[in-house]
Amino acid sequence: MKKNLFIPLIALAAICFGHQAKAQVTATSQPVTVNINLTDAISITLGASPTVNFAYTTAADYTASKTVEKAGHFTVVSNKPYNLTVVATGAFTPAGGPALNVVTVTVPAASANGGTPVANVPLSTTAASLVTNSTASTGASYTVDYTIANPASLLNLGASAYSTTVTYTATQL
């Protein structure tokens, strides 16, 4: 009798282990649209100390040209190529006294972000091209040299602080 029960038990075990239960797997998918919405963006950020100071305190200062280098003077961020211009709001004016012509200071671009720098740009009340066709960038840093090449233009002027405002403009192409 034990044999009679043993054989059906083995057969039942073989049947159970021989057939594995498998879940039905069905694949499903759904397309998703991903959009990238771009807007033209451009900005100029001035460096930590944007003010440019020339000091003529001794007789020797009036005998040679002077340059004030402004490393990292400003940074341009633009998603497209751009041109860079510079303009002065007016002549250098003191607190009461004759105005000093703005062409005594030149602004050559010491660095250009893949563009073409224009050498020795005189400051003027008319916008002048400083760099043309700069490449798009996430942070092009510009070093600018301010130079008074001929200090003779400063002779016969009264002791005072002469100033003007200079504006840089980046325009996308």
Residue 22: pLDDT band with limits 50, 70, 90: low
Model pLDDT, residue 122: 84
Q: What is the mean pLDDT of the chain?
A: 83
The whole-angstrom separation of Cα 63 and Cα 48 is 31
Q: What is the 3-state secondary structure (H, E, C) of the chain?
A: CHHHHHHHHHHHHHHHHHCCCCCCCCCCCCCCCCCCCCCCCEEEEECCCCCCCCCCCCHHHHHCCEEEEEEEEEEEEECCCEEEEEEECCCEECCCCCCECHHHCECCECCCCCCEECCCCECCCCCEEEEEEECCEEEEEEEEEEEECCHHHHCCCCCCCCECCEEEEEEEC
Separation of first and last alpha carbons in the chain? 99
Q: pLDDT value at position 167?
A: 94
pLDDT at 156: 83
**Measured between alpha carbons, how far is 62 from 173 in angstroms, rounded to an integer?**
42
Band (33; pLDDT cuts 50, 70, 90): very high
Q: Does domain 42-172 have CATH number 3.90.75?
A: no
What was the pLDDT predicted at 170?
94
**Residue where the block lists tokens 């000093």:** 100
Residue 12's pLDDT band (cuts 50, 70, 90):
low
Q: Are 140 and 113 in contact (CB under 8 A)?
A: yes
Q: Is the pLDDT of residue 111 over 70?
A: no
Report pLDDT digits (tens) over 60-94: 999 998 989 888 889 999 999 999 999 998 888 88
- CA-CA distance, 107 to 88, in Å (whole number)? 11
Higher pLDDT, 131 or 95: 131
Q: Which of 92, 118, 96 is CA-nearest to residue 105?
A: 92
pLDDT for 5 beyond 90: no
Residue 115 has pLDDT above 80, yes or no: no
Other CB atoms within a 10 A radius of the CB of residue 74 amount to 19
Domain locations in the chain as residue ranges: 42-172
